[in-house]
Amino acid sequence: MKKFIVILVIAALAGGGWYFYTKQNGNSKPKYTSVLAEFKDLSEVVDTTGVIAPENRVEIQPSASGRIEEILVEEGDKIKAGEVLALMSSSDRVAILDAARSAGDAQYSQWKETYKPIKIISPISGTLILRNVVEGQTVGAGTVLFAISDKLLIAASLDESDVGRVKPGQKAAIVLDAYPDKTVRGTVFKILDEGTTKSNVVTYTVKIRPESVPAFFRSQMTANIKITIAERKDILLLPAMAVTTNPQGETAVITELKDGVPVYTMVVTGQNEGDQVEIVSGLQEGQTVYYERKRYTAQVDSSGKNPLMPSRPNVPRGAQRAMGGH
């Protein structure tokens, strides 16, 4: 047992010594990556969510009670204003035709031609987004038979803290949950005046019209939206990790390495884009900038010990004496 503990101690000392040596000597010299200062575009966006919804949705109801005799359209069909969607018999026609049917085919055909069905006609051009009946169904005057939308747009929900920064005419990028690899471009065209309060949060509906409506758009699909509220072009940018401080604590970048020693150039920074930083002055387009590549170093706990190295087991003093320890 004593021999085992001695081996562990030697291994720990050897591991700790190698860790200290590599941290203090040549293997710890920084390695640098170079990057060119480039002109790019900076944009500020507001992120929000919304749904695809029709700009105008028209529900079609019958003018009287009756029975649906024939349906001439299906959901998804493109409809023109004045197009016949279905044929319906009024309650009186239903009674007459049912009585004539029992009298024979000749009587039934005569009354069918004499007493014409009611035509259900579309009042607008658009897409049939709802067919709510089947042939043979009896309907009342208030039954919704069909729904037609003229154009699909995106209705976004915007927090009141952001609504003041959004204006008609601003560009938007739309990505649907159902099609995450397809981006649709659009433009804000309306911001509703009345807000909605939910859980003490006030939101406003912002309507966005897509530049073109893709075939995969469906009403009530969820959309993720980025509205561009500000845009600046030809901004000199660097990766954020390339901006550092010189020995005097001033904001700088490394523009040269002399025998591995960095030469700093002071810069003035502007807008921060997370992983990109605007350089206002001190640097020109096309200049090479160096920055240190961060290396992995072994973690040391609060006691100064390397947690990757085995530690000597805690042995009670009495047990140490029994084993010959002091």
Question: So what's the pLDDT on residue 28?
Answer: 62
Instruction: Tell me whether residue 188 is in a domain.
Output: no
Phi, psi of 133 (to 5 degrees): -140, 165
Give 179: exposed, middle or buried? Use CB within 10 Å, 0-12, 13-18, 19+: middle
Q: How far apart, in Å, are the Cα atoms of 85 and each of 80, 90, 139?
A: 10, 16, 15
* Residue pLDDT, tens place only, 16-27: 444 444 444 445
Instruction: Tell me whether residue 238 is in a domain.
Output: no
Number of structural domains the chain divides into:
1
Instruction: Tell me whether residue 38 is in a domain.
Output: no
Instruction: Tell me whether residue 200 is in a domain.
Output: no
The CA distance from 279 to 242, in Å, is 11
Residue 64 has pLDDT above 50, yes or no: yes
Instruction: Tell me whether residue 99 is in a domain.
Output: yes
**In this structure, are residues 163 and 204 in contact, taking their beta carbons and an 8 Å threshold?**
yes
* Both structure tokens of 94: 């239903």
Among 80-84, 169-173, 217-221, 230-234, which is the least confidently predicted range?
A: 230-234
* Residue pLDDT, tens place only, 110-135: 888 888 999 999 999 998 989 999 99
What domain range includes position 81?
57-149
Question: So what's the pLDDT on residue 315?
Answer: 46
Q: Which of 135, 171, 145, 141 is nearest to 44 (CA)?
A: 171
* Both structure tokens of 217: 């758009």
Across 299-306, average pLDDT: 45
Question: So what's the pLDDT on residue 153?
Answer: 92
Provide the β-strand partners of residue 139: 66
Question: So what's the pLDDT on residue 62?
Answer: 92
Across 143-170, average pLDDT: 91
* Residue pLDDT, tens place only, 170-229: 999 999 999 999 999 999 999 998 888 888 889 999 999 999 888 888 888 999 999 998
Across 110-139, b (16+ Cβ under 10 Å) vs e yields ebbeeeebbebebeeebbbbbbebeeeeeb
The CA distance from 47 to 229, in Å, is 10
Question: So what's the pLDDT on residue 27?
Answer: 52
* CATH code assigned at 80: 2.40.50.100
% of the chain beyond a pLDDT of 70:
81
Instruction: Tell me whether residue 143 is in a domain.
Output: yes
Across 257-277, average pLDDT: 87
Question: So what's the pLDDT on residue 12?
Answer: 47
Instruction: Tell me whether residue 218 is in a domain.
Output: no
Across 227-233, average pLDDT: 86
Across 296-304, average pLDDT: 44
Instruction: Tell me whether residue 70 is in a domain.
Output: yes
